[in-house]
Each structure stands twice: as C-alpha cells, then as structure tokens.
C-alpha cells in the first residue's frame, strides 16, 4: 500500500487556511468565525480543519506569539542529544505546553527549542524538569538583543 504525501491530501481550502492565516489570526472575540467568513466556511468547519491538520502533522500549534519580555518569560534552549535518542527526546520536549517549537540542527547541540512561561521561576522549573526527564543538560540561551524575524513564508504545494 502506498501512502499519499500530506501535501497531496490538502484541498484548496486547507491550503488557503494555512497560507493566509499562518501569520495573522484575527484579533476578535471569535477569530475562527472571522477566518471562516474570509474562507466561506463556518466557525465549526475552520476549527475541524485545524484539528485535522494538527492531527496530520501539518500544523504544530495554533496560538499567539508575543514579543519576548512583554508577557511572561522565554528563552531559547538547546540540548546535545545522542542521535539514537533524538526522536524520543524531541517528543518529550514537544509534550510540554511551554514549548513553542523545537527543531533539529546539525551541531553538537542538535535539538533546539523555545520555552515560554508566566515567569522566570516557572521557566526554570520546566527547563530543569525537561533536562531531568531526558537525563541530559539543557543549555539556556536567553535573548540578549531583540530581532524581528517574520516566520511566515509562502508554502510550496508541489
């Protein structure tokens, strides 16, 4: 049995939803209803699509991103994970709601992630717990200078 790649299974509305709202969910009491108006869908249909896309791995997170140090505390963290444990440790890290995203890098510190928490003490507690559970030290890389990087990009549907 052959598996159809995820990009081939997305219909035009899925693609528009991902493209048009990756960098701007409406600031409204019912943002999914507003998104639905834009796409010609109901609020429930937008929510169902986002749930399906999340379960399929096309979406990792739906939520706001705040400027660092404006709300709560955040840091960039890195771990040197043995290659044979990378999938296991990445799953452990991803399971924390305080983890914004994580990714692999070609470096001795090969797993990087962003942690956010209500305050510095909570941030340190989660960081330490991740290290303890993984049995690996977590390198804390707090921001020294702020840069704006637009993480939105046109998606390729080939």
Residues 80 and 135 in one domain: yes
DSSP-derived secondary structure for 39-102 = HT--HHHHHHHHHHHHHTTS-S--S--PPTTTSSEEEEEEE---GGGHHHHHHHHHTSTTEEEE
Q: What is the pLDDT of residue 59?
A: 80
Residue 24: phi and psi, rounded to 5, are 180, 75
Is 149 among the domain residues? no
CB 75 within 8 A of CB 123: yes
Max CA distance (Å), the chain: 51
Pick from 63-72, 84-93, 107-116, 149-158: least confident: 149-158
Beta strands 99-104; 111-117: pairing state = antiparallel
Dihedral of the alpha carbons of 151, 19, 100, 119, in degrees to the nearest 10: 80
Is 101 among the domain residues? yes
Is 62 among the domain residues? no
Q: What is the pLDDT of residue 69?
A: 65
Residues 103 and 50 in one domain: no
Residues 38 and 92 in one domain: no
Residues 130 and 79 in one domain: yes
What does the mean pLDDT of the chain come to?
86
**pLDDT per residue as tens digits for the range 12-60:** 899 888 888 777 788 889 999 999 999 999 999 999 999 998 888 778 7
Residues 50 and 81 in one domain: no
Residues 80 and 137 in one domain: yes
Is 17 among the domain residues? yes
Q: How much is the pTM? A: 0.59
Is 3 among the domain residues? no
Query: Total structural domains in the chain?
Result: 2
pLDDT at 95 > cutoff 60: yes
Residue 118: give its domain's CATH number.
3.30.70.3460
Which domain covers residue 98, as residue numbers? 73-141
Is 152 among the domain residues? no
Residues 39 and 95 in one domain: no
Is 127 among the domain residues? yes
Residue 90 to residue 53: CA distance in whole angstroms: 20
Residues 40 and 78 in one domain: no
Is 118 among the domain residues? yes
Residues 38 and 85 in one domain: no
């Amino acid at each position: 049995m052959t598996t159809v790649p995820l990009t081939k299974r997305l219909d035009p509305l899925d693609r528009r939803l991902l493209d048009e709202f990756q960098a701007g969910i409406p600031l409204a009491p019912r943002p999914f209803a507003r998104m639905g108006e834009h796409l010609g869908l109901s609020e429930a249909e937008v929510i169902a699509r986002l749930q399906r896309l999340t379960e399929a791995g096309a979406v990792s997170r739906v939520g706001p991103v705040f400027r660092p140090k404006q709300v709560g505390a955040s840091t960039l963290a890195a771990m040197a994970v043995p290659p044979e444990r990378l999938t296991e440790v990445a799953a452990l890290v991803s399971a924390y709601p305080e983890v914004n995203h994580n990714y692999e890098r070609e470096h001795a510190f090969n797993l990087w992630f962003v942690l956010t928490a209500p305050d510095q003490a909570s941030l340190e507690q989660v960081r330490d717990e991740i290290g303890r559970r993984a049995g690996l030290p977590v390198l804390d890389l707090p921001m020294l200078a702020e840069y704006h990087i637009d993480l939105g990009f046109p998606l390729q549907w080939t």
